[in-house]
Amino acid sequence: MNVEETLRKAIDERVAEVRPPAGLAQAVRRRRARRRTWYGVAAVAAATAVIAGAFPAYQALTAPPQAPVLSGGGSPDPALPTPGGVEPALPSPGVSAPDGKRDESTATFSPETGPFEVTATAEPEATPAPAGDGREYGGIAIGHIPGGLKWNGQTLENTFGSAPSTYSRMWGVDGEKWVQVIVYRGAAVGDLAARLAGYREQGAKPIRINGHEAFQVRTGEAMGLLMEKGQPVLAWTQPGYGIEILSHDVAESEVRAVAESIETK
């Protein structure tokens, strides 16, 4: 007989008369049932915890980052660091900013451009006041403008001659038909007078406009040089004023009517 057989025989003799207590098998079954129930509850709790933790994480990944908000409802100090490099929160559109000014910007989230895409709402352009007919300027008043021609709303100052104090306005239609009236004042009157003398020297014949000697001629690109098919010009001087009228595609009689309707103040 070897050692194993001897040991087995001794154990059998020791437990041969031992009997299990009543209800032992039932107790074992109840204990196993409780263990299965505990494992089931633990599994459900663990799954619930995973889901509950995953939802905030999902929100954190999908929602745009929010900048910290200081207590009291104010905007965060721009000098303070913000998590993730997020810009400080912008005031809501139309809500007064900390400096008391109304904020007109809007902030939106765009997957392409990043967390915040700030679009400033441009201020509405100021609507200019009606220009009127523009017939009074530079100390003169124009009584007649050819029919259909409208003032372009601009006044050019000090752009004609070598001396300052010139004023110019233009009336036209579609850029094809127009008249331009230039007013010379002060020392600028002398520049115009010198050109008129040059017209006479080139053989131009004077006419009379409101009792003043005037010249109705055509000039080339070189100022004061007469040219048969050049720019139509009607000009004259009078005490304190020089008047020059340029035109395009307007009859000479109409240009003369404009000249005769001018009054000085």
Q: Note the pTM of the prediction, 2 decimals.
A: 0.52
DSSP track, the chain: --HHHHHHHHHHHHHTT--PPTTHHHHHHHHHHHHHHHHHHHHHHHHHHHHHHHHHHHHHHHSPP-----TTSPPPPTTS--GGGPPPPPPPTTSBPTTSPBP-EEEEEETTTEEEEEEE-PPPPPPPPP-----EETTEEE----TT-EE-S--EES-SSSSS-EEEEEEEETTTEEEEEEEE-TTHHHHHHHHHHHHHHTTPPPEEETTEEEEEEEE-SSTT-B-TTSEEEEEEEETTEEEEEEEES--HHHHHHHHHTEEE-
Is the predicted pLDDT of residue 130 greater than 70, yes or no? no
CATH number of the domain within which 212 lies:
3.30.200.100
- Is 6 inside a domain boundary? no
Does one domain contain both 143 and 115? no
Do 159 and 248 fall within a single domain?
Answer: yes
Please report where in the chains the tokens 């070598």 appear, as a residue: 162
218/253 same-domain check? yes
Residue 218 inside a domain? The answer is yes
Return d(Cα 117, Cα 107) in angstroms, integer.
Answer: 6
Same structural domain for residues 113 and 179? no
CA 238 to mean position of chain CA atoms = 50
CA atoms of 172 and 249, how far apart (whole Å):
10
Whether 17 maps to a domain, the answer reads no
Residue 247 and residue 216 share a domain:
yes
Kindly indicate the confidence band of residue 29, based on its pLDDT and cuts at 50, 70 and 90.
low
Report the range of poorest mean pLDDT among 70-84, 122-136, 152-166, 190-204.
Answer: 70-84
Q: Verify that 194 and 116 share a domain, yes or no.
A: no
pLDDT tens track for 30-75: 555 555 544 454 554 444 444 455 444 445 445 555 544 444 444 4
- What domain count does the chain have? 2
Same domain, 259 and 142: yes
Whether residue 150 sits in one domain with residue 246: yes
Structural domain containing residue 159: 136-264
| Separation CA 9–CA 3 (nearest Å) | 10
* Same domain? 104 vs 205: no
162 and 214 both lie in a single domain: yes
What number is the average pLDDT over the span 11-15? 73
